[in-house]
A and B are shown apart, each in its own frame.
Chain A
Amino acid sequence: MTAIEATDAYTGPASRAAVIVRRHTGLALTLLAPSLVFLVLFTYWPIVQVALDAATLTTFGSKSVSYGFGNFARLFGDPAFAHAVSNNLIYAVGTVVPSIALALALALGLEEATGIATTIRTVVFFPVLIPLVAAAALFLFVFLPGIGLLDHHLAKLGAPRTNWLGDPDVALWSLIGLTVWKNAAYYMLFFLAGLQSIPADLYEASRIEGASAMQRFVRVTLPLLGPTFAFVVVIALVNVVTQVDHVVVLTKGGPSDSTNLVLYYIYQQAHENYDTGKAAAATVVSLTALAALSVLSLRTLERAVHYET
């Protein structure tokens, strides 16, 4: 922020035209108004509503309403919610770590824009572009026990058949595999951009000082990719909290809640069990997690912007 303010102070007094513009507070608010109306209606007001719902306690058959933490007590007492949270944590670590490792490996391997590298970049980017729903529909067949793409080829290696989506111990990992397949190349783009921004003379200097390839990677590449890592981790985590399309299409949270994620749990409570209080309480929990993430991401966003300019 400070850098930006400093720019203002520099250009501000120098230009009389700018001073005139700055008196037009009314015009500024008019320009902002349409955006603010939509933000208030569909982001801020719903947050207030959800907080109110979460605190509102109704008794079946009576009109009287009281307020308290009863919904949260019910939520935290619900084993299905605990299950969804623990699934979500496994899903977070299981998707974020491998997809980022893969993304970095791909970026390092495909950095040079040779013919082959460009082709493979294109190929691995396809999954990013197809809808998650479409990816899930394709993986219905990949995961089909016995004759599906996975089992068909694993059988050739002598592996036993697996019920990829029907076995509670395996199903969540199948969804994790699908998610890594879908997102890794997206994160690769950011690493490619990060690699390009590392000055070549740093490598040159470390080479002259006799650093090995491994040393150069650990001492130069990794530290300078720091902001990229921070940024990619944040978007990957946001994806973990906000994307359940594949759960809807492939497993509906089953078998026996083994693939239920928090957002799908909220959806179930609201649209299948009509339990507004519990759904709202779970939403508040999710929002808190996202708020923590956005504090993190604002920092990285700001840093990324400064880094760039």
Chain B
Amino acid sequence: MNRRTHPLVAAIETAFAWALGLAWLAPLLYAVWTAFHPPAFATRFDLGAPLTLENFHRAWEAAPFARYFLNTVVIVALIVASQIVLGTLAAFALARFTFRGRDLLFAVILLQLMIAPEILAVANYRTMKALGAVDTIWGIVLPYLTSAFGIFLLRQTFRTVPQDLEDAARIEGCGTLGVLWRVYVPAARPVHLAYGLVQASWHWNNFLWPLIITNSVENRPLTVGLSVFASVDQGIDWSVITAATLMTSAPLLLAFLVFQRRFVQSFMSAGLR
């Protein structure tokens, strides 16, 4: 697709793109510099500065980051697994069954599409209190266990599965659930993966609801831990704060670098569309 012809235009575009890319990266590059050098070099750029992991060590010692990591992993795993399983079941019912009120039900489910649980935090906090789930991992996870968007996405996917495949499976003796497991679930594998990846990164980064519903170290996820760490504990020890920040973001960034193509495709196909 050679839409642009003039070489000068192309050269300017390239230069501009590089400049923009660099400016975009500056805060992160700075963070990497500060985190891997002694505090004395935090604001001083000197190519001779010694490299060190001391900042990471100090951050790790200063706050229970191991616990935060574990909590975040558990939270993300529970949410993603539940959304995929429950979403698949619901989407199958909506895509391949006809029953009275189906379309109405689908419309009602779609209502949730734009209502982020953050908005309803005040009311949900009260529900958690009634359930005795305040300041627990369950309290963090419960509002997210099913997602209208996941149901919507999977329903659209199931609709594209040819009826012939289902018929063939039935002739070979599959029951309804067998058909779901043998025909629809394999057909939806790319969507499951893409959706799972997007949700995992979303919930790894989620902050406000976990902040509201937790108040103890044992149950905080990484994001809440980091916010506590970056505000009061450390004063202005930038080296340690940036080390902690990089630690928090590293798993997703590394996963992105390794599975880049998959990530980008996932965000394009399942990043709330």
A contact set with B: CB distance below 8 Å: 4, 7-8, 11, 14-15, 17-18, 21-22, 24-25, 27-29, 31-32, 34-36, 38-39, 41-47, 49-50, 53, 106, 109-112, 116-117, 119-142, 147, 149, 152, 181, 185-186, 189-190, 192-193, 200, 203, 213, 216, 231, 235, 238, 241-242, 244-245, 248-249, 263, 266-267, 270-271, 276, 279-280, 283, 286-287, 290-291, 293-294, 297-298, 301, 304-305, 309
Contact = CB atoms under 8 A, between A and B. Distances in A.
B74 interface: no
Contact of B267 (A27, A110, A189, A241): A189
B185 interface: no
Listed residue (B27, B126, B211, B272) with the most chain A CB atoms within 10 angstroms of its CB: B27
Contacts of B13: 109
A198 to B, nearest CB: 9
Contacts of B5: 213
Contacts of A189: 264, 267-268, 271
Contacts of B100: 25
Given A45-B127, A131-B204, A181 B24 contact: yes
Listed residue (A49, A244, A279) with the most chain B CB atoms within 10 angstroms of its CB: A49
Given A117-B17, A297-B114, A298-B113, A38 B207 contact: no
Contacts of A137: 226-227, 230, 241-242, 244-245
A24 B146 contact: no
Contacts of B17: 109-110, 116-117, 120
Given A122-B260, A126-B25, A147-B43, A283 B208 contact: no
Interface of B: 1, 3-5, 13-14, 16-18, 20-21, 24-28, 30-31, 34, 43, 86-87, 89-90, 92-94, 96-100, 102, 105, 109-127, 142-143, 145-146, 148, 151-152, 156, 159-160, 163, 166-167, 170-171, 176, 179, 201, 204-205, 207-208, 211-212, 222-224, 226-227, 230-231, 238, 241-242, 244-245, 248-249, 252-253, 256-257, 260, 264, 267-268, 271-273
